[in-house]
Amino acid sequence: MTNQHLQNPTLVKQLQDVYFLVKLLDGLFKIPMMNKFIGIDAIAGLLPGLGDLFTLLPSVYILWRAKALGVPSQKILVMISNLVIDTTVGSIPFVGDWFDFFWQANIKNMNIILRHFGLPDYQKNGSKTPSF
pLDDT tens digit sequence for 10-19: 999 999 999 9
Can you say whether the dihedral through the CA atoms of 69, 62, 26, 85 is positive or negative? negative
Q: How confident is the model at residue 23 (pLDDT cuts 50, 70, 90)?
A: very high
CA distances to 104, 107, 118, 121 from 94, rounded to whole Å, are 16, 22, 37, 29
Average pLDDT, integer, range 79-90: 93
Does 1 score more than 60 pLDDT?
Answer: no
pTM: 0.89
The full set of domain ranges for the chain reads 16-116
- What pLDDT, in 10s, does the model give residues 88-125? 898 888 888 888 888 999 999 999 999 999 998 987 66
CA 110 to each of CA 24, 90, 123: distance values in angstroms, whole numbers, following the listed order: 12, 19, 10
